[in-house]
Structure 1
């Protein structure tokens, strides 16, 4: 586990679908006392329609204009450099078995409760029957797990990017506690 970098001000949380990015990012933002920006909420409009790219990008830039923030999401192809001021990337690099258990439980819970995610969008249990990974988030998580790992592993060695690679929920919990402890000491 990598110790928290100092200072954490502009943090991007990444990982495969179902790894718990949003929950982790929301918690970290609370610890840091900065806004949380969920990229899915920015890029998805009502009816699960992707927002106009320029409009969404302007929204990301507006939400991250301040001195500190925590974002979560994997929208790399749509970000257009909007998060280039990130000082730390936190990669939730959990094993496939952990991610799949999480995404199945989450999808079932959201489908049963009909909990609204953003803009009136809700997950439907019927999506689990689709063989199209763009319609079935569980299938999407399964198919993209390896490619996300490859994508973010390349960041670890990048000289201009501080990456914190957390390989289990327990390690992530320890890291957030260390961040909180470091903040109380300063």
Structure 2
């Protein structure tokens, strides 16, 4: 794991559900003084209504054109064509399935029990705990395919000019954060939500 500083200005964090993409993205935004966006907030409207990739791409275009940003989330059909041509640094959180399963179970139960909002104000429900499209079963269903791709991302032509950092355990994330500089003047890191995004044409 090697990272060259001064840090890049356009960063995307990808990984499985419950890998800690949002937490790391928000931390990087605060530490580096860069605006932070969680793609889940752009994808999900209240009531768990999905935006779709056409709308998400439209919402990402003005963000991509700005000089500096931190984005957390996958949504590859949208992020690859819009963000990757401008990307400086791709951070891949590729954690073991057992760890992700424990995190997914705890997070879903915690959010359902407390009513903690997520994804642009939506709330988890008990009936989604073992739902086919719930976080837990979605993680099981997609882990192997994503794990295989994550390990080969550094060789993808579209990322030839991008610094790719592959992290396989939370301890490696902690090590990375220890090496980060702190912005001289801490900046607000606004989160772009669906309501802030331009209306699709």
TM-score by structure 1 length?
Answer: 0.88
Q: 2:53–2:77: 8 Å Cα contact kept in structure 1?
A: no
Q: Tell me the CA shift for residue 63 of structure 1.
A: 2.8
| Equivalent residue runs for 1:146-165 within 5 Å | 146-158=144-156, 159-165=160-166
| Equivalent residue runs for 1:51-70 within 5 Å | 51-70=51-70
Report the equivalent of 1:140.
138
* Structure 1, unpaired ranges of 5+: none
Q: 1:12–1:88: 8 Å Cα contact kept in structure 2?
A: yes
Q: Tell me the CA shift for residue 142 of structure 1.
A: 1.4
| Equivalent residue runs for 1:59-138 within 5 Å | 59-79=59-79, 81-83=81-83, 84-130=85-131, 132=132, 134=133, 136-138=134-136
Provide the secondary structure at the position in 2 that maps to 1:81.
Answer: helix
Q: Tell me the CA shift for residue 46 of structure 1.
A: 1.9
Provide the secondary structure at the position in 2 that maps to 1:138.
Answer: helix
* C-alpha distance in structure 2 between counterparts of 1:78 and 1:100, whole Å: 26
106-115 vs 78-87, greater mean Cα deviation: 78-87
| RMSD (Å) for aligned C-alpha atoms | 1.9
Q: 1:13–1:89: 8 Å Cα contact kept in structure 2?
A: yes
Q: Tell me the CA shift for residue 111 of structure 1.
A: 0.9
* C-alpha distance in structure 2 between counterparts of 1:179 and 1:119, whole Å: 29
* Structure 2, unpaired ranges of 5+: 185-201
Q: Tell me the CA shift for residue 171 of structure 1.
A: 0.9
Q: 1:5–1:88: 8 Å Cα contact kept in structure 2?
A: no
* C-alpha distance in structure 2 between counterparts of 1:22 and 1:167, whole Å: 17
Q: Deviations over 1:30-81 (max 9, x none)?
A: 1111011111111111211111533322221223332111111110013362
Query: Is the counterpart of residue 30 in structure 1 residue 47 in structure 2?
Result: no
Q: 1:36–1:71: 8 Å Cα contact kept in structure 2?
A: yes
